[in-house]
Amino acid sequence: MANNTNLPRRIIKETQRLLSEPAPGISASPSEDNMRYFNVMILGPTQSPYEGGVFKLELFLPEEYPMAAPKVRFLTKIYHPNIDKLGRICLDILKDKWSPALQIRTVLLSIQALLSAPNPDDPLSENIAKHWKTNEAEAVETAKEWTRLYASGA
């Protein structure tokens, strides 16, 4: 684990805290061979179309972290206007609104919140956003369907 010896203290502290006091509905643990790579699981928030689902994500801390934002991606297929079919997430704090005072925990909480409150006005996936805006009830049904299909067996 040569590349982990120089791990900044901040990352070590964050990791320890994530493991010892995890946020509700979120788990994140570093990969064994790369302490900058995290396996993440987020439970679909209650009263959202994703309720009951378990969503896998990957999170990577780039060399510049915390000056640069972590890279996060959904591994589980999800029907959401701000998440595309590759699992990429449209979230301001992962881009221009990133601040080094944010943390892995805050990022994951924001993603969880995004599942509760999809924002079809700032879409990543045009089709899903359009579906959401023209027929929200139907779009929510599809999201539920996808949750059942892809996010239940995790």
Residues binding other proteins (CB under 8 A): 8-10, 13-14, 64, 66-68, 93, 97, 99-102, 106
Q: Smallest distance from the beta carbon of 17 to other proteins, in angstroms?
A: 9
Is 90 a catalytic site residue?
Answer: yes
* DSSP E strand stretches across 8-70: 26-30, 37-43, 54-60
Nearer to other proteins, 15 or 76 (CB): 15
Nearer to other proteins, 95 or 133 (CB): 95
The rounded distance, in Å, linking the Cα atoms of 111 and 45 is 11
- Closest C-alpha to 37, from 67, 75, 79, 93: 75
- Please report, for residues 20, 85, 129, 144, the alpha-carbon distance to residue 137 in angstroms, rounded to integers and kept in the order given: 39, 21, 13, 11
Which of 72, 83, 90, 108 is catalytic? The answer is 90
Nearer to other proteins, 9 or 47 (CB): 9
Q: Smallest distance from the beta carbon of 56 to other proteins, in angstroms?
A: 26
The rounded distance, in Å, linking the Cα atoms of 145 and 70 is 30
Q: Smallest distance from the beta carbon of 38 to other proteins, in angstroms?
A: 17
Which are the contacts of 94, defined by CB distance < 8 A and separation ≥ 6?
Answer: 69, 70, 71, 72, 107
Nearer to other proteins, 99 or 135 (CB): 99
Q: Smallest distance from the beta carbon of 36 to other proteins, in angstroms?
A: 16
Q: Which residues are catalytic?
A: 90
